[in-house]
Structure 1
């Protein structure tokens, strides 16, 4: 997994699954709240794109 994808996955788990606010998640990750919000947003956007993409028809 790429480092950016790993950061995004961690931000999603802390923000969406566990329900931490951005400030608390930032303390856990050693990042600022804005970086956590951005990582979670980008990760969720990427995940949504992957879910919407139909599988290849072989």
Structure 2
């Protein structure tokens, strides 16, 4: 039986998981971090159990 780790989105600046999709464009999705205010298309997708780096 294979167990797959759940993926979470993280802010590339502060590593917070308080991130949401702000807008979706033709070529990219823009994200916004509630904690530090980051706005951009680059986002980290990590395993849920990876914790903070």
TM-score by length of 2: 0.29
Higher-strand-fraction structure: 2
Higher-helix-fraction structure: 1
Decide which structure has the larger Cα Rg and report it. Answer: 1
